[in-house]
Amino acid sequence: MEASAKDNRDLTVVVFGVSGIAGRSVAAYLAERAAETGASWAVAGRDAAKVERVLGEIGVGAPETIVADAGDPDSLAAMASRTRVVLDLVGPYTLYGTPVIEACVAAGSHYADLTGEMPFVRRTIDAFHERAAAAKLKIMQVSGFEALPPDLAVLLAAKAARERWGEDLAEVDLEVATQQPEGRIGLSDMISGGTLQSTAEAIGGEGAGGLTDPAALIVDPELAAAVRSRSPIPLAPRFNARGDVLAPMTPAAFINPAVIHRTMALLAADRGAEARPFRYREAVTLPGGGASLPLRYAAAALLGATQAGFAALSRTRPPVRRRAADALRRIFPPSGFGPTGGRMEDWTWQVAVDARTVGGHYVRVDVDADGHPGYLTTSRMFGEAGLMLAEDGATPELYGCLTPAAALGAGNLDRFEHAGLRFAVSS
């Protein structure tokens, strides 16, 4: 029988996988927050000595190191049975995620990960949603920069629209702006090796045709068709009202839309209401004008063309995709590739959501954040989300395979200020 995650466990949160940049940063954040909150936590990995050495390099000492291996179901079961929440950072999740989720559902533990591998997320929904919901467990995926801040920001806009005017959203435009540290910006400052390797696995894996589908996570066929019709994913560069160039979301324009549309479907079902798809567009802002405008527009066009190429590749025959995935694995940098130290601390970034309701009213949500979005802020907010999942009453009573907004709700978003993430709603 599947247990409840609300029974007594000796650990609040276990961080599974700390050898990468994100895992180390999550551990560092929990070490700091545990001292403030009294939460009990541990790290886990297949080589305890390596785990402790890696954490020692950044001056973090975990209270306990658990030996667990994604290829050893017994070790995963033992890990999951001791904690309320498992934060899984062992990717690519297409290869290693399912056994960890299976262990958590069987042991009655909540689960969260940072995957952006949408076919894997859809397989998880199909395999585990009903079981997790029946056991009152939350499986929260895609919980990093993709897609926790955008998902929660759109949730706040939808909540404000219902509370102020009793209306649903009709259109949502989301823009991300970043401010990088001074000096030369290299590839390692922009995207992680783990993200790139996960992209290769998603392209070569089962269900790759759904990789670029805005309705990839919608189970109801009629609603999925309505989402695709109402909200296709644009890749071409464009301009905002200020004249800034808008580029497709990086590292992929296909992650946040699928998550946000599933959030709205889940929350409508929870209210007993009919889901009404809205048009959703997002972009990265490349601000400024003058002589550099053609260069910035060309950069946006290159990003769009690259993502269009991946989209086309995801729809080719399986043998072609597998060969391409093998080539990408060799070309892409390995997991662990990324910035360190001040290269992560010295970033700031913002998310701006401008939404229009079906009745023509407008609402705006702003998110302001400190730290590298894909590394440092992601790690800190992921750690905070784990603490929230573990705490009775901190999140809504909604269970199953959930998006970040559906799992966490809007009631305690001030908690993310500890992670350097601040939300504000205005009209």
pLDDT-derived band at 344 (thresholds 50, 70, 90) equals confident
Task: Count CB-CB contacts under 10 A for residue 422.
Answer: 15
Residue 16 has pLDDT above 50, yes or no: yes
- pLDDT given for residue 186 in this prediction: 55
- State the average pLDDT over residues 323-340: 70
* pLDDT value at residue 223: 97
Q: What is the mean pLDDT of residues 92-111?
A: 96
For the chain, the structural domain boundaries read 11-144+375-419, 148-372
How many Å apart are CA 23 and CA 90, to the nearest integer? 9
CATH code 3.40.50.720 for 11-144+375-419: yes
> SS3 of 155, please?
helix
Q: How confident is the model at residue 4 (pLDDT cuts 50, 70, 90)?
A: very low
Question: What pLDDT shows up at residue 1?
Answer: 30
Give me 365's structure tokens: 């949500």
- CA-CA-CA-CA dihedral for 256, 261, 267, 270, to nearest 10: -130
Distance CA 347, CA 341 (A): 11
DSSP code of residue 375: I
Mean predicted confidence (pLDDT) in 323-351: 75
What sign has the CA pseudo-torsion 227, 230, 235, 237? negative
Per residue in 156-203, pLDDT (tens digit) is 999 999 999 999 999 999 999 999 877 555 555 556 566 666 677 777
Q: Please say whether the beta carbons of 244 and 285 come within 8 A.
A: yes
- The stretch 330-337 carries a mean pLDDT of 67
Q: Residue range 250-278: average pLDDT? A: 95
**Nearest alpha carbon to residue 109 among 49, 156, 66, 150:** 66
Instruction: Tell me the pTM.
Output: 0.92
Half-sphere exposure of 28 (CA within 13 A, CB side): 21
pLDDT in tens, 391-413: 999 999 999 999 999 999 999 99
65-67 sheet: strands from edge to edge: 65-67, 41-45, 11-16, 83-88, 110-113, 138-140, 400-402
pLDDT band at 142 (very low <50, low <70, confident <90, very high): very high
